[in-house]
Structure 1
C-alpha cells in the first residue's frame, strides 16, 4: 500500500509520499541548477520526508500526535556522508540547526544530537525511491572551506524548502498557484532602451544632463559585453546612477549566456523603498516590479480582497520569483545569514541575478565583513553580478583581498574624477560652532534651505524656532504617512518657488530626490556631508559659488559618540585634501574610518563558521540569532490618526488581521526602550497583553504633532493598562 504525505482539507484527495518526494526533487533540482547543484538538491529533496513512512506519521494524518519526520532523512544523508543535505533536511520545518560537536547528546537540537535519537521504523521508503548519491559541485570541492560550505548549505536549504512549499501548496489547493510575474527581461530592456534614447537624443540637455548621458552610455555599452562579476558605479549625487545602473543590469542580464533571471535592487532604508519601486514601476510596468517590504500594498490588503495582480505579488514575495525585485539591505543581508525557511526560501533566486546595491557606503560597519563576504560568495559561486552604486564609494579593496583573493571590482563610470569635477555644483563653507539661535536666524532668513542634524530632538527644537509658513521637520518621530505627505509638500513648494525650510535627520540623505539652493549639515562624516550636498543645486541650474553647503557644530552639543570615528576620519581627510568631493578624498576618508574601527564583524559571524562557537561547528541557528543589522531594539507606538484610528480600535478589540496590522504600521513610530518607558510612566500609552510584543497605542494625542512627530516632552502620570 502506498503511504501518504498529505490529505486535502476536504478529505477527498490524497498525495502519496512517493509523489511528493519525486515532485519536490524535480523542483529543487531546477532551483539549484543555477549554482551547479541540481543533483545535490534533487537528492536532498528525495530524502527530506522519508520519516513520513513511519506508522506514527500515518497516524498523524488521521489526527494523531505530532511526530518528528525530518530526522530520518537527515540520518540517511549522514550515512551517505552528505552533511549539507543532512542539515537542510533536518531544518526543513524548524530551521537549519547547528551542526554541533561529537559530544552532543540525543536531547540536544544540533544535527549531531538529533542523529543520535532513536527513530521509528520508516524503511519502506527504500522500496519506492532510490536517491542517487550526489557529489558536491566541482567548484565547492575546489574550495571546501567552512564559510563557503555554510553558504552553500543555506542555498541548498533554500532550494529544498521552496520546492517543498510549492509542491505541498499545489496539492492542497488542487491546482498550481499563479506564481511568477512579469515580462521577460528582454522586453524590459526594450523599455529601458526607449527611455534611454529619449534622454540621449534630447536637444536641450543641460550640462548636468549631458554628463548623466555619458554615464548612461558607458553603462549600457559595458552591460552588453562585460563578464559576470563585481562592479562599482561611482557617480556624484544627482548624476543619474539609478537609471544608469538599471540600464547596465538589464543589458548585462540579457547579454549573458544563459540569460540571467532577475534584477535585485537593494536600498538602505525603508523610508525610500516605495519611491524607488514606484519609479521602476512607472518605467517598466507595475506587474514587473516586486517591492518587498512590510508597507507594500499587497501586504496591507486582506487576502480575500487582493486583485489577481496583488495576489501574484504576494506569492512572489515569498521567493522573489519576479523580474525586478526592490528590497532593503536589512531584508537582503539578514536573509543570507538566516536559518528559518520563511527567510531563506527566496535565496536560491538570488543566484543568476544582477544585484544593484544603492548607497553602498551605508553598509553597516559593524557587519561590513559578513556583508562583503556574502557579496563575494554570490559573485564567485552563484552566477551573480553585483554593482556597488554610490556617490561616496567605500574603500573595500582590502576587505576583498582578505575575504576573496582574486576578486576585484571594476568601475563602470568612464572617468569618476572628471565627473566629480564637472558636476561640482556647490561650494562648501565651515561655519564652526553656532548657537541654536544663530543657526535658526540664518535658516529663517533663507527662503529655501535644508538643514540636516544628527538627533531627532535637535530637529524638533530647531523647527520650533522657524517661521510657521513653509517650515518642515523630517525625522523618524513622524509616522511614514506623515513623512510621505511632508515630502510631497516640500517638493511642490520647491518647484513653485515658495518658502521651504526643512530641518531633517539623515533620512533625507539617501535616495530622497529634492533640490535646495542652500544646505547646512551638522558635523558628521564626509559621506554624510556629501550626501547633504547632493540635495543642493542638484540639477546644476544655479551658480555653484552661490550654492552653499555649510557645515557647523551646535554650541553645547557634542557629536554623537557613535559618530566620533566618522568625525575623526573626516578631520584627517580635511587636513590632507583641499577638495573633499573627489574620489581620492572619499577613498582616503573610508580607509581612515575603517582603520579606526575595532572590528568590522561585531558578532564574529565569519569566525563562527570558520572555527565554530565554543566547540559547536557550523552554528547556523546561533549566527541567525546574532546577525541583526539594526542592533538597537525598538518599541512601536501606534497612532490613532486618520485610518490608524479605526485600526487602533480593531487592535483594542483583539480582532485585527495581519494585513490590518501592517497597514497600522504606516501610522506608527519607533522609539527606544528608555523613551518608551518614559511615555508609559507618564500615562501616555495604552497597553494590553493582546497587543503585539513591545508595542502600545498612544493614549495622549497631544504628544503627537502631524508636523514634528512624537514629542518626548512628557510629565509623569499613570498608564492605561487593559
Structure 2
C-alpha cells in the first residue's frame, strides 16, 4: 500500500520535495535537507497509511494520528546531539515551544520496525545523514543565546515554508527584477518631478538625489534623516531599491508603525511599480470574500514578492510569534532591505529588544536595515552605529524653505475657552489642534463649536477609517478653499495625512510627535513662518501609555534649546527615554533560553483593542457605501469591514457590552448599537476610563 502525505500526493514525493526546498531556504542546506526529509516520517505509521488511503478513496473518517514527533525521534536515533533540530521537527504543526515542553517527549521510544518504508526514502536518508556534519552544526550553534534562538527560528521557518509550498505545489511567479523596479521608479520620478529652479521643490529634488547616492553605502545599518515635508516616501524607497539592486538583495520590505501611513504608501507604490510586484500585509484577519487573486493571497502568506509593505507589528510578529504561520515568513527576510520608516514609532520600552532582533538579521542573514525619520533616536547605547546615508543632512534641516514654523511652549495649563479666544484673535484661516486623548479632543471640539464663522471638524480614533476618510476629504477641501476652519483631532491625523494649515496647537507630548504635527502646518511654505503652540490642558485626562514619560523627556531636552531638529536636543530626548524605559519582561533573556512560546504569548507591541463595527448609516447617506457594507457583513468580508471598525480598549468594550451598547453575532462580529454622531464618534453615558 502506497503511503500518501495527503490525497493525491505520495509521502515519498512530498518528503523529497520538502527536502529539496529546504536545501534552498535553510541557513544550513545539508541539515535543512535532512529535516525536510524527516519531518513527515510519522506518516509511514501503518494507521496513518491506511487512514489516508481511505480518505483518498472518498471515505470520511476520524482524525488521523499525530505524526510530527516520529521524525524528531528518528533524527535522534542517528544524531543524538541534534536535539534542538529534533524539536523543530516535532513541533512543525504546533508552533515553536518552550524547549522544556519537548524534552520529555523526545525520550519516547520510536517503534517503527514494522513500517513499510519506501526504499528510495531509506537510501536518501542514508545519504543525507552522511552529509549532515555535526561539526558544522556545532559551529553554527556556537554563538550568543539570542543568535542561537533566532537561527533555529530561521531553520524552523524554512521547514514550515518548504512543507506548505510543496503541499501547494507553489511556484514563485515571475516578478520584475529589483533593478527594473529601481529604474521604473526613477523614470517615473524624473518625469513627474523634473528638477525645479528654486524653493521647497528644489530641496525635495536634491534630497531624492542624495538618497540615490546614499544607496551605495555598504550593506548593514543605514539611516536617512530628513525633515517633514521633504518627500521621504519616494526618496527612501528609491534608495532601498537602488541599494538592493547594487548588492543583489532579494526584496525590499517597507515597514511603518501606523496603518494610516501604510495604506497610502502601499497605494502609491502599487500604482507606480505595479500591483503584481507589491504585496501589502497589515491585517491578521483572513478575508473570505475578496476580489484578490489566489496568487496574491498565497504570496502574502510567504511574503513572496519583490516589495512588501507591512507594519512593524507584522514584522516583529514574524520575528517573535511562535506559530508556524508567522515563522514561515522568516526566509523572506534573508538578503532583504528592510526599511523602518518613522522608526521613532517603536515603543520606547521595546526598542532594545527590537534593535537586537534586527541586528541579528544584519549579522546572520545578509539584511540591510534602513532607518528613516525626521527625529532619529540615539542608538549608541544599543551598540549599533547606523551609517548616515546623506553627506549633509543638516543642510535640509537648516534650509530656509523647510524652516516653516516657529515653536511656542506654554508653561501654564490652558482652558479650552482661552484657546478659542486666541484662535479668534489670530485671524488665521485654518487651525489644527491635536490632543493626546479622545476625551480631550471631544471637549475641545465642543468648545470650538461655539465660535461663529468657523467650520469645526473632529478627527479621532473613535471614528471608523471609512468615516475618517470622508471627513479628511472635507477638511482638505475647506483648507484648500481658504475657508475659516478649525480641526480638532487626535494623533491619528499626524501620520499619513497631508494638510497645510496656517497654525497649530499641539498638546505636550514627545518631541518626535510634535515635529510630526508641525509637518501639517505651513507645509508648502505659503507663509514666511507659522506658529506651532505646545500646550498643557487645564483639565486632567487619563494619559495614554507612555505619554507621561515622553512629556518629561521633552521637558528635559528642551532645557538644552527649543530647536527641535537640533541633534543635541534629539539625542538628549531619546537618551532620557532609553535610560528610563521600564520593561516588565526580559524578552531577550527568555529567547536565549529558547522559551519561544512564552515570549510569543507575552509580546505586545501595541495595546490591544477589540474591533466593533459602526454601521455607516449612522454617519453617511451614501447608498454605495451602505450597500458595500451590507454585502461585507453578509459575507464576513473583513477586508471591507475593517474600514468600518473602531477599536475599543478592553475596559470600555466590557462596560459597553454590559450596558447593551454592543451586540455580538454568532459569527463573532461585534456591532455598535449605542450613540454615534458625526461630530462626537462613539459616545457612552458612563465613565469608561
TM over 0.5: yes
For 2:144 and 2:635, how far apart are their aligned partners in 1? 45
Q: Which residue of the partner structure matches residue 613 of structure 2?
A: 638
Matches within 5 A, 1:250-649: 250-256=241-247, 259-294=248-283, 300=287, 302=289, 306=291, 310-399=293-382, 401=383, 407-422=384-399, 423-432=402-411, 433-443=413-423, 446-467=428-449, 470-544=455-529, 547-557=530-540, 560=543, 562-599=546-583, 602-610=584-592, 612=593, 618-630=594-606, 632-641=607-616
Q: Which residue of the partner structure matches residue 96 of structure 1?
A: 96
Q: Which residue of the partner structure matches residue 50 of structure 2?
A: 59
Cα gap change, 1:346 to 1:437, in 2 (>3 Å) = same
Q: 8 Å contact 2:97–2:595 — kept in the other structure?
A: yes
Cα gap change, 1:222 to 1:50, in 2 (>3 Å) = same
For structure 2, the 5+ residue unaligned runs are: 55-60, 618-623
Cα gap change, 1:250 to 1:651, in 2 (>3 Å) = closer
Which one of 12, 20, 30 corresponds to residue 26 of structure 1? 20
TM-score (normalizing by structure 2): 0.89
Q: 8 Å contact 1:234–1:391 — kept in the other structure?
A: yes
Deviation (angstroms), 1:568: 1.4
Which one of 669, 672, 676 corresponds to residue 698 of structure 1? 672
Q: 8 Å contact 2:510–2:553 — kept in the other structure?
A: yes
Q: Which residue of the partner structure matches residue 712 of structure 1?
A: 684
For structure 1, the 5+ residue unaligned runs are: 8-13, 101-109, 171-175, 402-406, 613-617, 717-722
Tell me how large the CA RMSD over aligned residues is.
2.7
Matches within 5 A, 1:36-185: 36-61=27-52, 62=54, 63=61, 65-79=63-77, 80=79, 81-100=81-100, 110-121=101-112, 124-125=116-117, 127-130=122-125, 131-132=128-129, 133-135=131-133, 141=140, 143-170=142-169, 176=170, 179-180=172-173, 182-185=175-178
Mean CA deviation greater in 436-445 or 413-422 = 436-445
For 2:556 and 2:687, how far apart are their aligned partners in 1? 44
Q: 8 Å contact 1:199–1:213 — kept in the other structure?
A: no
What SS does the aligned partner of 1:355 have?
Answer: strand
Deviation (angstroms), 1:118: 4.0
Cα gap change, 1:646 to 1:44, in 2 (>3 Å) = same
Cα gap change, 1:181 to 1:369, in 2 (>3 Å) = farther
For 2:614 and 2:63, how far apart are their aligned partners in 1? 43
Mean CA deviation greater in 206-215 or 19-28 = 206-215
Q: Deviation per CA, 1:219-274, whole angstroms, max 9, x where unpaired?
A: 21232x32211111111111222211111111111111xx2111110011123321
Count of residues in Structure 1 that have an aligned counterpart in Structure 2: 656
Q: 8 Å contact 2:342–2:373 — kept in the other structure?
A: yes
For 2:214 and 2:392, how far apart are their aligned partners in 1? 14
Mean CA deviation greater in 187-196 or 449-458 = 187-196
1:202 and 2:184 aligned:
no
Q: 8 Å contact 1:647–1:661 — kept in the other structure?
A: no
Q: Deviation per CA, 1:132-161, whole angstroms, max 9, x where unpaired?
A: 353486896385222111101111111111
Deviation (angstroms), 1:98: 1.6
For 2:33 and 2:492, how far apart are their aligned partners in 1? 45
For 2:407 and 2:655, how far apart are their aligned partners in 1? 40
Deviation (angstroms), 1:479: 0.5
Q: Deviation per CA, 1:421-469, whole angstroms, max 9, x where unpaired?
A: 1122211112332101112333455421111100011112211233496
Cα gap change, 1:683 to 1:4, in 2 (>3 Å) = closer
Cα gap change, 1:114 to 1:295, in 2 (>3 Å) = closer
For 2:138 and 2:681, how far apart are their aligned partners in 1? 53
Cα gap change, 1:706 to 1:435, in 2 (>3 Å) = same
Q: Which residue of the partner structure matches residue 720 of structure 1?
A: none
Q: Deviation per CA, 1:480-535, whole angstroms, max 9, x where unpaired?
A: 11112222222233333233321111122233222222111101121111111111
Cα gap change, 1:88 to 1:431, in 2 (>3 Å) = same
Deviation (angstroms), 1:300: 4.8
Which one of 211, 214, 222 corresponds to residue 206 of structure 2? 214
Cα gap change, 1:673 to 1:334, in 2 (>3 Å) = same
Cα gap change, 1:367 to 1:203, in 2 (>3 Å) = closer
For 1:60 and 1:706, how far apart are their aligned partners in 2? 59
Q: 8 Å contact 1:354–1:385 — kept in the other structure?
A: yes
Q: Which residue of the partner structure matches residue 226 of structure 2?
A: 235
Deviation (angstroms), 1:644: 8.3
Cα gap change, 1:541 to 1:97, in 2 (>3 Å) = same
Deviation (angstroms), 1:668: 1.4
